[in-house]
Structures are given as C-alpha cells and as structure tokens.
Amino acid sequence: MSDKPPQIVLIRPAPAEAALHLSPALLAVASPILLLLGWEAVVRLEWLDSRFFPAPSDVLVALWQMLLAGVLLEHSFWTVQRVLIGFVLGAVPGALLGLVMGLSPWIRAFLKPAIAAVYPIPKVALLPLIMMIFGLGEPSKWVIVGIAVFFQLLLSTLAGVLNIDRIYLDVARNLNATRLQAYASVALPGALPTIFAGCQLGLGMALIVVVIAENFGTSAGLGYLVWRSWQVFEVTDMYVGLMMIALLGYLFQLAMGWLERRLLRWKPAATAMKGTP
Amino acid sequence: MRSEPKIAIQGVSRSFGAVAALARVDIAIAPGEFVCIVGPSGCGKTTLLRILAGLETPSTGQVAITREDSARPLNTMIFQESSIFPWMTVRQNVGYGLRLRGIRAAEIAERIAPLLELTGLARFADAFPYQLSGGMKQRVSVARAFANDPELLLMDEPFAALDEQNKALLQEELLRLWSATRKTVVFITHSIDEALVLGDRVLVMSARPGRIKADIDVPFPRPRSVVELKQDPDYVRLNHDIWLLLRDEVRPAA
C-alpha cells in the first residue's frame, strides 16, 4: 500500500457537443469550395501560370457564356446519352451473367478463366478494334462504354451472389423454390448492395471511356470539347469541359445514391450511408 | 401407434471425406410425434436433420417418409442461425413459402394473419429484420415454417442463441402452435431441458460418429407449462439420467 491519498475518478457527461454542430452535408460542400478558393488565390497571386491554370472565376465566366449559348448543354446531352445507353447495354447483361455465374458452379468454372483473361485489358485499348467493327459513329461509343460497364457489373454481381450467406439459399431450396424463384427472391436482392457498388464504379468507368471515345468521329460531347480545346489551345474551354465532366460524375453518384436508398430500405441506415456521396 | 411410421430411417450413415459424421442410424417416428434429439456438439445431429430435409444425401441406408397430402409441402426446416431474409419485411418473410407456391396475395395475407397474432409479430409486420431483436427474428422463422403448413417440421436448435427468458417464451409458443396442428416434429437440441420440455420422446446421440444411444419416452402430460414442469421430481430424475448418458459422450471429445 502506498501512502498517497486515494484518488477519485470522475465519469461525467461529455462536454457540450453542440459547439460542433457541423452537418456532414455542409462538410461535404466545404472541401470543393476550399479547393476552388485556394486555386483562385494561387492564380491571382501569380504563383501559377494562368495560361495553363486559368483562375476558377475565369472558367466560371466561360462556363456561363457557353451555357447561355446552349453549346454546353448540347455537349453534355450527347455525353449523358452515350453514357446512359452504353451503361444499360453493359449493365443488364453483366448483372444477369453475374447472377447465373454466382448460382451455378459449373458455368462459373467454365467462364471464369476467359473473363479473368479479358478483364485486365484496358477497355480503351479495344477502341480501335471497336471502331473498325462498328464504324466511327454512335454505336462504337455505346459499345465501348457497354464493355467497360459489363465487366464491372459482372464481377461485382458475382462477388455479391457468392457473398450471400448459404443459409438463405438453403431456405429457398428447403421451401422448394424453383431456380428462377431462387434468383428473384434470394440471389438478386442479396447481391443488390454490391450491384449498386458496381454501378457506381461502372458509371465512373463509363465517363472515363466515353471522354476518350469522343476524341473520334464526333463533334459533340464533353470529351470532344476537351480534345478540341487542347488542339486549338483554348485552355479555359478545356477547364469548362473538365468541370462539366466532374459535375456529371457527381450528379450520377447522387442519382445512384438516391436509387440505392429507395431500393435498399432493408439495410440499416449506417451501412446504407456508405454508398451516398 | 408406432405401427405405421411417418419417418423410417434405416441404416443411414454419412461421411464427409474421411470423417464419419453419422454411423448407422435407425429411427422410426410416428405421425404427429414430437421427437427431440440431444447429443454433444459435432455428433452429426444437424447432418441427420439436413438429410431429412433433403439438403444432404446419406452415404448409406435410406429414409422413407410417408406423404399424406401431396398438395402440402412435405417438410420445412427451421435453422439455428437467423435465416429470415434481411431484404423482406416480417410479413413477406412469413408468407415466403406460400408465395413460392403461387398462392394469391390476398389468401396469403389471410392465412398468415392469425400466425402473426399468435407469435406477437402483428405490430412488426412491416418491419425489416434489422429492426428486430434476436427473439423476434426466431419467431419470424417459426411463423414462416408454420405458415408453410408442412407435414413435417425439422428444427435445428432454433432457440440455442436466445437468452433463457426468450427461450422459455418461444418454447411455450411453439408448444401452443404445435398442439393446434399436431405436425410431426424432429427437434435437434443440445439442451436436455429443452428436449424434455418439448418432446414426446428423446433420442440421445453418441459423440461422432453419431448413433442413437438411448430412446427415452417422456411421460409428462400435455399441455405442459415450461416453467412448472421443471419442478416435477420425475422431470429432475429424467434430466439427471440423460445427463449421465451424455456425460460419457462429452468427455472423450473434451
């Protein structure tokens, strides 16, 4: 025994948390705004060469003018259209094949090596081949986007189905579910959270691919805007294109997050939050 | 009563690779009988149940189950772990077996309403499983099995993960539901108490590879009260007898 007097350990309410009343939504907006402000400052102070890094305010002015002229919406419209058509073309068969491979060990064993071999090829490297087959027009853009999205959805759906607790399939089997019923009531809903994750990745991939594809055989689309601005050294326009692409990506994520919250009401809120931007 | 068995298990064994899970098992179960199987963990009792459920096949021997009504499902299993679908509401989960059989939504609603009432789930009918406690989730499992209305109920330690109070409540609810329907039940458990409270008959299994070591009639009249029954001196004696049988089996495994 020491001869120090006994100490009292106090456990009390945490200091008022109200002081830190920042909502996550507010914090989420703060980082892009701070980035833009910092950028603006650095250019105004001439620490950065404004020929390569025009100030955000200049980019916004250019963006506003292009918006008023209607050009920007037209470019955006073409890009969105290509992304959406390509996405549906790739996502639907990708998810379906993922479900089938997930539930059938035989089909999985048969197809997996082929997919593992093709998957690592950068999809953009297939573009010349696809333009040879489908021509320079719209179909080649849909197809290249479709291929990129297909693999993303296939792999995430497959992972999702394989991740479903076996017991749910046992229940379906024990209650004499047909194969189709097992797909509809167990495999699809059980894999839906990962399918959504795949959709998020797939949309990002679709934007990357479409921007590159729009360098060829078109005079519309945000990718075209960026490439043409590069050729004629209109750096500000190039940034307008980049900003619109970023904005589109963000809007796609928002839409996905909204859809996910509607369809995954069965997920506890904490895990559903992960998917939201 | 036991002349025409509902289930005749004859010389059934099962091995997984080099591991023998079940050694020749012979059991005859009468129609409407509530049979509990107790045994040490890893003795193959779940394997036996999965064979009855058609989720596993025996390595040798055969099982003959008499089917009375081809319009009703033959068996429904209630699993130990939570097996209700997280993506369905309580109502959808309970009606799942009926929905698979193509029964109209209105009829399903009509058939499951009394079950939701009896199991105290009516208030939670539109909740998702993540909003339920463990006891409520197992009630959904039980209600789903009874809604499916099979000839044979196969239960694999369905209450093992519950606390004592919930366990007693669910056992009483199960007995009430069962006495109204008189289905044939095979109930797996590692708890002697549970086997004696619920069963007409207790089969004691040996350590792996499992075989039937003893076949004990449970003489207590029904309806039984889960809590009262445990005070009965006969109950205490029987409980002790079975414990002595099991103790020999647990020792080598420990």
Residue A66 maps to which CATH number?
1.10.3720.10
A23 within some domain: no
Whole-number percent of chain A with pLDDT over 90: 69
pLDDT at A7: 87
How many other β-carbons are positioned within 10 Å of the β-carbon of residue B78? 25
CA distance B73 to chain A (A): 8
Is A175's CB within 8 Å of B148's CB?
Answer: yes
> Mutate which of B100, B141, B156 to test chain A, going by most A C-beta atoms within 10 A?
B100
Confidence of residue A274 (pLDDT cuts 50, 70, 90): very low
Chain B residues near any Cβ of chain A (below 8 Å): 53-55, 73, 75-77, 79, 81, 83, 85-89, 96-97, 100-101, 128-130, 148
pLDDT at B80: 86
A4 within some domain: no
Please compute the mean of the pLDDT values over residues B188-206 and round it to a whole number.
92
Of B76, B87, B88, which is closest to A175 when you measure between CB atoms? B76
pLDDT at A23: 76
ipTM: 0.87
* Closest-CA residue of chain A to B53: A174
Rounded to whole angstroms, the Cα distance separating A208 from A205 reads 5
Is B77's CB within 8 Å of A266's CB?
Answer: no
Is A175's CB within 8 Å of B53's CB?
Answer: no
pLDDT at A2: 64
A7 within some domain: no
Residues of B in contact with A181 (CB under 8 A): 100
CA distance B118 to chain A (A): 22
Of A167, A186, A265, which is closest to B79 when you measure between CB atoms? A167
Residues of B in contact with A185 (CB under 8 A): 85, 96, 100
* Closest-CA residue of chain A to B49: A174
Is B88's CB within 8 Å of A268's CB?
Answer: no
pLDDT at A270 over 60: no
- Residue pair B226/B176 in contact by the 8 Å Cβ criterion: no
Instruction: Report the domain count for chain A.
Output: 1
Strands (E), B128-253: 152-156, 184-189, 201-205, 212-217
A31 within some domain: no
Rounded to whole angstroms, the Cα distance separating B91 from A234 reads 61
A4 CB contacts (<8 Å, ≥6 apart)?
Answer: none
Please compute the mean of the pLDDT values over residues A95-114 and round it to a whole number.
94
B142 CB contacts (<8 Å, ≥6 apart)?
Answer: B78, B119, B158, B170, B173, B174, B177
Radius of gyration of chain B (CA): 18
Structural domain span for residue A238: 53-272
Pick from B8, B6, B36, B5: which is nearest to B200 by CA?
B36
Is B88's CB within 8 Å of A266's CB?
Answer: yes
DSSP 8-class letter at B124 = G
Full-prediction pTM beyond 0.90?
no
A82 within some domain: yes
> Mutate which of A161, A170, A171, A181 to test chain B, going by most B C-beta atoms within 10 A?
A171
* Mean of pLDDT over chain A: 89
Rounded to whole angstroms, the Cα distance separating A184 from A171 reads 14
Rounded to whole angstroms, the Cα distance separating A76 from A221 reads 6
Q: Which two tokens stand for residue B32?
A: 């409407």
Please compute the mean of the pLDDT values over residues B236-254 and round it to a whole number.
82
Rounded to whole angstroms, the Cα distance separating A74 from A88 reads 21
A16 within some domain: no
* Mean of pLDDT over chain B: 89
Residues of B in contact with A178 (CB under 8 A): 100
- A245 CB burial (10 A radius; 0-12, 13-18, 19+): buried
Q: Per the omega criterion (within 30 degrees of 0), is the bond before B209 cis?
A: yes
A117 within some domain: yes
A29 within some domain: no
Higher pLDDT, B228 or A206: A206
Confidence of residue A1 (pLDDT cuts 50, 70, 90): low
Please compute the mean of the pLDDT values over residues B211-238 and round it to a whole number.
88
Q: Which two tokens stand for residue A170?
A: 């046992």
Cα A173-A179-A185 angle, rounded to 5 deg:
75
